[in-house]
Structure 1
Amino acid sequence: MSIYVGNLSYQVGQQDLKEVFSEYGTVKNVQLPTDRETGRVRGFAFVEMETEAEESAAIEALDSAEWMGRALRVNKAKPREDRGGGGGGRREGNGGGYSRRY
């Protein structure tokens, strides 16, 4: 399991998150997604702790806490949903119109 951390400052770094969460236990991993085009932090992260008890302690302490000028959203991460393959959703046929015969 991991922890979702939302509403992060765009100035935050992985080390910043590791320091804050290490107050509640051993941090195994920090993922800080960035925008593909700009390389800028996207405003959320995932933090993995050593035990579930440490995760719960961090969530309880940090959810709604103000950090770097922002009120954090901290909760258990939900499993990623399968969004299916990409694709334009193109329909074959007459484009949704109707045809009239005389």
Structure 2
Amino acid sequence: MNIQIFNLSMNTADRDLRKLFSPFGLVTSAEVIRDKLNGRSNCNAMVEMPVDQEARQAIASLHNVLLDGKKISVTELYLGSKW
């Protein structure tokens, strides 16, 4: 399952996300989205967890928690959906 995270601190790194999500199950990827021009975080990220049940538990447990002083939003990414 693909998970999207919003409202991250500029200081949050990929390894921080992997550490945050790993207690819920296997994390196959964790990546802070970065601006292509300057390389700085845009304060959003994607995490991939292969087991849907573990991913849903992570989403339920981590939505609206504080990470690096910011309350993060964690939701399932629906591929193909239009924003």
TM over 0.5, shorter chain: yes
**Aligned equivalents of 1:30 and 1:57: distance in 2?**
17
Q: Which residue of 2 aligns with 1:39?
A: 39
Moved over 6 A (4+): none
Q: Report the residue type matching 1:9 in the other structure.
A: S
What is the root-mean-square deviation in Å for CA atoms of aligned residues?
1.4
User: Greater strand percent: which structure?
Assistant: 2
Deviations 1:44-91 (A, max 9, x none): 111011200110010000000111111110010122568xxxxxxxxx
Q: Which residue of 2 aligns with 1:85?
A: none
Over 3 Å counting, the alpha-carbon distance change for 1:75 and 1:33 in structure 2 is same
Structure having greater relative contact order (Cα 8 Å, sep ≥ 6):
2
Instruction: Give runs of aligned pairs for residues 1-102 of structure 1, distance below 5 A.
Output: 1-80=1-80
**Where does the alignment leave 5 or more consecutive residues of structure 2 unmatched?**
none
User: Greater helix percent: which structure?
Assistant: 2
- Give aligned pairs, total: 82
